[in-house]
Amino acid sequence: MTYRQRLSLFILIDSCLVLASLIIGLLIVKETLVEMPSVLAISASILLCHHLFSFKFHLYNKDWAYASIGELIIILKVVAYTVLITFIIHFILFQSIPINLFSIMGLLHFFFIGGSRFCWRVYRDEVMNKKQYKQRTLIIGAGSAGVMVARQLLKSNDDHLIPVAFIDDDKLKHHFDILGLPVVGGVDVLEKVVERMGINHIIIAIPSLNKTILNKIFKECAKTTAKTQILPRLEDIITGKVSVNQFRDVQVEDLLGRKPIQLDIECISEYITNQTVLVSGAGGSIGSEICRQISQFKPKRLVLLGHGENSIYSIHMELEANFKYREIEFITEIADIQDEKKMLAVISAHKPSVVYHAAAHKHVPLMEKNPEEAVKNNIIGTKNIAEAAHWEGVDAFVMVSTDKAVNPTSVMGATKRLAEMVVQHMDTISQTRFVAVRFGNVLGSRGSVIPLFKKQIENGGPVTVTHPDMIRYFMTIPEASRLVIQAGALAKGGEIFVLDMGEPVKVVDLAKNLIKLSGYHIDDIGIEFTGIRPGEKLFEELLKADEVYEQQVYPNIYIGKSSHIFLDEINEILALFESVEKDVLRDILLNLANKKAEGNPQPVMTM
């Protein structure tokens, strides 16, 4: 139906309803004093005034399938002004005041016009929605965000969700209706409500929710058969990236009981903006995210160094597309950090002021089988690029390390610990500020458990976990990258920075959550315990007991003390490692990484 056809239909219907209110009013009051000329004058004036005020208040432009209190107020205004002006005209022309007639006529006028409009919404809600298959949806959170979600879903004819109730822990809201939907109780009754009301879908609509509470709510949702989703991030809604009804699945990252680290923008900008920055391992999970976040600070030049040409090509194309208006020069360097001459040539050619060293072999079981490769990449590679940074006068060098470097039981952890020693030694002889950054397992990175678990779930299970008591610290890729960037800004030289990662998480609980987030029950997929792999331990540490400074140097960031540096022993290993049997080399690496110095280690820096 065109706009003209719709307008003509509304004018015709409204004219009939307005005249009907007058006729019925006359019949009710039986006003004998109202003569025919008076009736004709009332009819003409009330029709004219109604249509004039309807146009003035845009009554004919409303979509009445979505009628609400706002539209009701507009109808009230139209009726009130129409009756008032008609009353004044009648008084001027006939000097009579049939108050009873105008009172009843006004009430009928409001009832007929309002009823004709709102009956369409009732038809849509009660008939059309029932004809279409829509999933009965429970909204957790009866605040402004929850109401916004409910209103949007009620308006949308194409959406497959129909809201039926709210859940909210605010007891003052219980037993009230919002937009016609009842607030049926708190999260503690969620499971019963889902079963009783036949809920198919749950939407968590509380933008200010902290992750600890979200974890609690999700556990209650996981007890039901309903699919659980969450409101898009508020900043994405405000910036227009997504609409309020584009709900997303709850992700494992949402359930980490820790707020993401916030950056000191001013401090970082001072040493990145308009500078040349080099990132080794730029094609990896951490390295590529470091590149993305560095690009937001408008460096003059960003050098992407990596061994794998495909991954470097991928991140280069992404950065070129996303930051093409930032006037940043992105330079690619395909090189192996084990090549000493190449590292010196690259650093010399680009003369970066900051180097982020993220290139490393990180896979624990693979390095157990190939300890010589771990030595080449993690120790020699770090030594090569660190020395090149020293010779070329780089301002700051930030090495990405791991919690597995603490009391290491694996070759990977041992080589990273020895690489830390190399970096700390370089700080004592160089004008360059050398630091290391330790963090735990990174969700979603290559080789992490999340991609493995997801693939196993897609294949129907089972999900394999090494041990029921295995616990790990987890963080997101953006969090890890922010820590590395912030460390460069805080660096004075020689530090080991550590993120306060909250409470460690049981890997088996992570697996259970991921199964539920994928829409399955644990019994459907199953969890199989395979036993601890070579080099693994049940729990990880971020710092040894004698390494910790209790005071945070930045919110959620701690700094470690320097332990003894066994530089001569490291040089001996580098001279002989290729001629040593793998098992012997593994023992040598672990013994040195766990060796304690005679006497108490002294801090090499003060805070």
Task: Evaluate the omega torsion of the peptide bond into residue 462 and state whether it is cis, within 30 degrees of 0.
Answer: yes
Beta strands of 183-325 (E only): which ranges?
201-204, 227-230, 248-249, 276-280, 301-306
- What average pLDDT does this structure show over 153-168? 77
Q: What is the pLDDT of residue 151?
A: 82
Residue 353 domain-assigned (yes or no)? yes
Looking at residue 607, what is its pLDDT? 26
Domain co-membership, 156 together with 118: no
HSE on the CB side for 585, CA within 13 Å? Answer: 24
pTM here is: 0.62
Task: Give the C-alpha separation, 420 to 407, whole Å.
Answer: 13
User: How many whole angstroms separate alpha carbon 506 and alpha carbon 522?
Assistant: 16
Q: Is pLDDT larger for residue 447 or for residue 472?
A: 472
**The last residue of a domain, from among 250, 284, 312:** 250
Q: Is residue 530 part of a domain?
A: no
Inside any domain, residue 264: no
376 and 492: one domain? yes
End-to-end C-alpha distance for the chain, whole angstroms = 74
Mean pLDDT calculated for residue range 222-247:
63
**189 and 96 both lie in a single domain:** no
What is the rounded distance in angstroms from the CA atom of residue 417 to the CA atom of residue 407?
9
Q: What's the pLDDT score for residue 386?
A: 96
Q: What is the pLDDT of residue 468?
A: 83
Q: Which residues of 420-433 are buried (b: 16+ CB within 10 A; e: fewer)?
A: bbbbbbbbeebebb
The mean predicted confidence, pLDDT, of the chain is 80
Q: What is the mean pLDDT of residues 31-54?
A: 76
- Report the CATH number that the domain containing residue 384 is assigned in CATH: 3.40.50.720
Which pair of structure tokens corresponds to residue 558?
Answer: 């701690």
Residues 113 and 140 in one domain: no
Q: What is the DSSP letter of 233?
A: P
Max avg pLDDT among 146-150, 277-281, 536-540, 580-584: 277-281
pLDDT digits (tens, 9 = 90+) for 519-548: 677 777 888 888 777 656 666 655 555 555
Tokens of 469: 């008591």
On whether both 123 and 147 belong to a single domain, the answer is no
Buried/exposed code over 339-363 (b: 16+ C-beta within 10 A; e: otherwise): eeebbbebbeebebbbbbbbbbbbe
pLDDT of residue 335: 95
Residue 129 has pLDDT above 70, yes or no: no
C-alpha dihedral sign at 77, 83, 87, 88: positive
The per-residue pLDDT for 523 is 78
Same domain, yes or no: 203 and 337: no
Assess if residue 423 is contained within a domain: yes
Same domain, 92 and 16: yes
Which residue in the list 404, 512, 516, 561 is annotated as catalytic?
Answer: 404
Residue 477 pLDDT level (bands cut at 50, 70, 90): confident
Residue 396 placed within a domain: yes
Percent of the chain scoring above 70 in pLDDT: 77
Alpha helices (H) along 401-518:
411-429, 449-458, 477-490, 507-517
Looking at the structure of the chain, the number of domains it has is 3
pLDDT surpasses 50 at 9: yes
> Does 256 fall in a domain?
no
pLDDT at 603 over 60: no
**pLDDT digit string (tens) for 179-198?**
878 888 888 888 888 888 88
Q: Is the pLDDT of residue 327 over 70?
A: yes
pLDDT exceeds cutoff 60 at 550? no
Question: Would residue 527 count as lying in a domain?
Answer: no
pLDDT of residue 295: 92
User: For position 602, what pLDDT does the model report?
Assistant: 37
Other CB atoms within 10 Å distance of the CB of residue 183: 21
> Higher model confidence: residue 269 or residue 423?
423
E strand or H helix at 18, and its extent?
helix 3-29
For helices 3-29 and 36-56, angle between their N-to-C axes, nearest 10 degrees:
140
- Indicate whether 228 and 286 sit together in one domain: no
Asked if residue 207 belongs to a domain, the reply is: yes
- The residue with greater pLDDT, 480 or 190, is 190
- Calculate mean pLDDT across residues 433-444: 79
Residue 220 has what pLDDT? 84
Q: Given 128, 146, 164, which residue is the final one in a domain?
A: 128
**Residue 549: is its pLDDT beyond 70?**
no
Per-residue pLDDT tens digits for 561-599: 656 788 899 999 998 888 888 889 999 998 998 887 544
pLDDT band at 258 (very low <50, low <70, confident <90, very high): low
Q: What pLDDT is attached to residue 82?
A: 85
CA 464 to chain centre: 27
Same domain as 394, residue 348: yes
pLDDT digits (tens, 9 = 90+) for 304-324: 999 999 999 999 999 999 887
Most confident of 24-33, 134-143, 325-334, 438-447: 325-334
- Examine the pLDDT at 18 and tell me if it is beyond 90: no
Q: 198 is in which domain, residue-wise?
A: 133-250
Higher pLDDT, 58 or 274: 274
Same-domain status, 194 and 290: no
Record the tokens describing residue 340, joined without a space.
């000493």
**The token pair that represents 141 in the structure block:** 């959170």
State whether 282 and 228 are in the same domain: no
* Between residues 449 and 368, the one the model is more confident about: 368
Mean pLDDT of 413-437: 93
Q: Tell me: do 382 and 280 sit in the same domain.
A: yes
404 annotated active-site: yes
Q: What's the rounded mean pLDDT across residues 337-366?
A: 94
Last residue of some domain: 69, 99, 128? 128
**241 or 117, which is more confident?**
117
DSSP for 131-156?
HS--EEEEEE--SHHHHHHHHHHHH-
**What is residue 41's predicted lDDT score, i.e. its pLDDT?**
80
